[in-house]
Structure 1
Amino acid sequence: MQWQSRILPVSLALLIAIITTSFSALFNVEASILIILFLICFASSYFLIATALEFLVFREINEIYLSFEKIKKKDFKLTRRRLSTLTASPLQQLNEELYEYATKKQAEIDYLTQLEAFRREFLADVSHELKTPIFAAQGFIHTLIDGAVEDPEVRDKFLQKAAKSLEGLDHLVQDLITLSQMEAGIIKMHFQETNLNLILEEVFEQLEEKAIERNISLIIDERTSSECVIWADRNRIRQVLTNLVENGIKYGKEGGFVKVWLLQTKEHCVIEVEDNGTGIPKKHLTRIFERFYRVEKSRSKEKGGSGLGLAIVKQIIDAHEGSIEVESKVDKGSTFRVTLKRFPNQLSENIPTPQNEFANQL
């Protein structure tokens, strides 16, 4: 490439100088002037042609070769060089397209790297979560096998603990299956007209005993709209409310409260679940909807649960084309805010039914 970049301008400059000098010789110009003319034509032509080829052709070709060398080495981090020309030449366009291709490939590599890191983290979390109840149940059963079964009191106590550990394991596996099926679109949303007020009453009734055990008051905010109706999967929305209220009971302060406010706006129904518990540090707020993510793992273990509840909640809300946000202050409590489309608004927009394409996707 280097020698070609020199031979081509020399050949062209020599040709131009010969033609110019030959034409001047027709007018009986002195030999010394012809020689000077030849040299001037050759030098100026060579400079102009070499400069033009260098900036318009060879430099772009060199950039393309360098890019290809990086791509061969699986290095897609190319540097974009902005060009000052208003109209790009074919070589410049090729260089730009090559850059776009490399940028896209680099983005794919970064995404795959993130997925690999997530996979490793997920496998580590699953192994840890499964190990705890399995080892606990094994310990109780082996103790019984070693002779404790002869003592009726010890036997019953250990069997109950083993059963509790296995129940926790079953809940974990069921939550994993549910979350995986939701992400894969296997579980369908069965949309229907859904009254949030009625669901909230059912959830409060279901969790009343747990709240009494921790001396926590379940409160419906006095500002709650009398009738919040949405187009949703009733059972899944009930699951969302149950999880949020139950978390408020688990992590709330004894003698505290869990307050729910249902607000109906022009186009949406908003669910706010507030507690005055320990709160969530700001650095954790962006990750609490990840699978198995716990703010304080030791305390969360004591409270029970699979660590998948909020991840499932997020999947359900996304399937309803809604949103969920959280605000929290340490030692003051947390507020989860869920926004869903109202039922009348959904009908006016030809909302999909369970048989429609949206329901088939998730």
Structure 2
Amino acid sequence: MGKSFRRSYKFAVKTSLYVTIFMTLISAVFLIVNDTYSEAALLIYAICCFLFSFLVIQYRVEFFIYKKIKKIYENVSMLNASSLKPDHVTTDMATLSQEVQKFAEGKKLEIEALKVRDSYRKEFMGNISHELKTPLFTVQGYIETLLDGAMNDKKVRQQYLERAAKGVERLVYIVRDLDMITKLETGDLRLKQEAFDIVELIQNVFDLLEMKAAKKNISLVFETPYAPLMVKADKERIQQVVTNLLVNSIKYGKKDGTTEVSIQEHSKKKIIIKVSDNGEGIQKEHIPRLFERFYRVDKSGSRKEGGSGLGLAIVKHLLEAHKERIFVTSTFGMGSEFSFTLKKAKKTAVVTDKSGVV
């Protein structure tokens, strides 16, 4: 039966001893009264009484405790059912208490995790509702105004239709980004791996965003001139990563500021690309949640900077699809730096265009 019955043995032995002493004393008195007293017979009687009492009490204790424990196990169905077998059931209350406590702690952690997920779900639904209802109500308002008679004025009609078209375009933008994230998460979006020059790609993105940056007089520059550097990845998706990071930098960068891109060796097989600015920066408590869908540092209702709120979430998923990592460092009020790794297409070193590629 093992050590698990140690406590029930102790109980059975003590109880049997008490019963044996009591019954032996009564028997001794009875033998003395009848003048048939015999120490040998009394001793044999005491031993038999003790053994019989011990076996009966031990069996009943085991059976009683087993029934109680089985009921507990049935109520707490997550416990290991194999420990209910009669041949090795534990009647040790300390062992059972530890097992139930372990189960309770596991359930507590599970409940806390579910609460966090529920909170995230509610926040996500609130955010997506806010993002969608703004352009929806805008489109609805302009169309209803036109239907109420404004369409008869050609100038107003043209203006309102253009504004409604912008609202629809924003809706399409949000839905498209959500669809891309869903495909990335489910593995439906296939990457086309190829070798390309990352320096050239970044320069092309600079050119595309030049006018956007000029509105805030932000300079888009390399830390230093770089020679061509070949990497292996999905060129279109990496261009989207660089574009989203630069757009984010321009969006939250300060006027007359600078967004700088640097390329450094990360390991023998990888490089790291850093996008840094001297903008408003990010408070420390917001950094862990930056890559959540629709998460915004600015909790106000303002959407003056536009965007779907999915840019950084897309960046994270695209890089994870490449099995790469993204890092964030920021000092509030001084600026931020987003950096990500990429695999080299061949064994080259990061050098300036003055030195050439080795």
Using the size of structure 2 for normalisation, the TM-score is 0.72
Shift of 1:227: 4.1
Corresponding residue number in structure 2 for 1:196: 198
Corresponding residue number in structure 2 for 1:65: 71
RMSD value, Cα: 4.0
Residue 159 (structure 2) aligned to one of 157, 160, 182: 157
Q: What count of residue pairs does the alignment treat as equivalent?
A: 310
Shift of 1:44: 7.8
Corresponding residue number in structure 1 for 2:38: 31
Give distance in 1, aligned partners of 2:258 and 2:264.
19
What letter corresponds to residue 192 of structure 1 in structure 2? E
Q: Residue 66 and residue 157 in structure 1: after superposition, are their counterparts in 2 closer, same or farther (change >3 A)?
A: same
Within a 5 Å distance, the mapping from 1:181-260 to structure 2 comes to 181-222=183-224, 226-260=227-261
Shift of 1:248: 0.4
Give distance in 1, aligned partners of 2:299 and 2:171.
17
- Indicate the SS of the match to 2:275: strand
CA radius of gyration, larger in: 2
Within a 5 Å distance, the mapping from 1:82-121 to structure 2 comes to 90-91=88-89, 117-121=119-123
Give distance in 1, aligned partners of 2:69 and 2:335.
58
Q: Is the contact between residue 229 and residue 269 of structure 1 (CA under 8 Å) also seen in structure 2?
A: no
Shift of 1:184: 1.6
Do residues 333 (structure 1) and 335 (structure 2) align? yes
Corresponding residue number in structure 1 for 2:318: 316
What letter corresponds to residue 286 of structure 1 in structure 2? P
Residue 129 (structure 2) aligned to one of 127, 130, 136: 127
Deviations 1:46-96 (A, max 9, x none): 569967996x9976774453132123xxxx5x79xxxxxxxxx9436x979
- Indicate the SS of the match to 1:279: coil
What letter corresponds to residue 66 of structure 1 in structure 2? I
Q: Residue 38 and residue 230 in structure 1: after superposition, are their counterparts in 2 closer, same or farther (change >3 A)?
A: farther
Q: Is the contact between residue 228 and residue 263 of structure 1 (CA under 8 Å) also seen in structure 2?
A: no
- Indicate the SS of the match to 1:302: coil
- Indicate the SS of the match to 2:164: helix
Give distance in 1, aligned partners of 2:192 and 2:60.
67
Q: Is the contact between residue 57 and residue 91 of structure 1 (CA under 8 Å) also seen in structure 2?
A: no
Corresponding residue number in structure 1 for 2:168: 166
- Indicate the SS of the match to 2:231: strand
